[in-house]
Amino acid sequence: MDRLARSVSQICFFEGYIAVNGASLTVSECDKTAGWFEIWLIPETRRATVLDAKQAGAWLNVEIERGTQVVIDTVRDAVKETLGELQPLFEALLKERGLVLEEIVKPPTLKHTSRH
């Protein structure tokens, strides 16, 4: 079994989204260290794609799902704006401790307001 590229495995998280062969799918389980993930395939997805025919170990096109990438970019920009020139130093300190900035920074929560 091939491992996921680090750029993809680092953003893989439970109930997050990942694009597999062009389909945006929900992650049911993942192991960032080992570089693997599992997805939920509902009957409609199985019917509408060729994923059901794939066997374990088959080659797949795996990409960061666009919505996930937007959140990552937004958080990265907010951190860069907040930390400024201190960001490279902060990231180096995290790396020494085996951590990655994206793993400890939570994306901002958007407040939903309704109009009456």
Residues 51-100 pLDDT 10s: 888 888 788 888 888 888 888 888 888 888 888 888 888 888 888 888 77
Which pLDDT does position 2 carry in this prediction?
A: 55
Q: Among 84, 76, 109, 93, which residue's Cα sits nearest to residue 7? A: 76
In this structure, are residues 42 and 31 in contact, taking their beta carbons and an 8 Å threshold?
no
| Distant-in-sequence, close-in-space partners of 71: CB < 8 Å, separation ≥ 6 | 107
Q: What is the pLDDT of residues 10-25, one digit of tens each?
A: 777 788 888 888 888 8
Q: Among 6, 2, 3, 5, which residue's Cα sits nearest to residue 95? A: 6
Q: Which pTM value belongs to this model? A: 0.58
Which pLDDT does position 86 carry in this prediction?
A: 84
Strand partners, 19: 24, 63
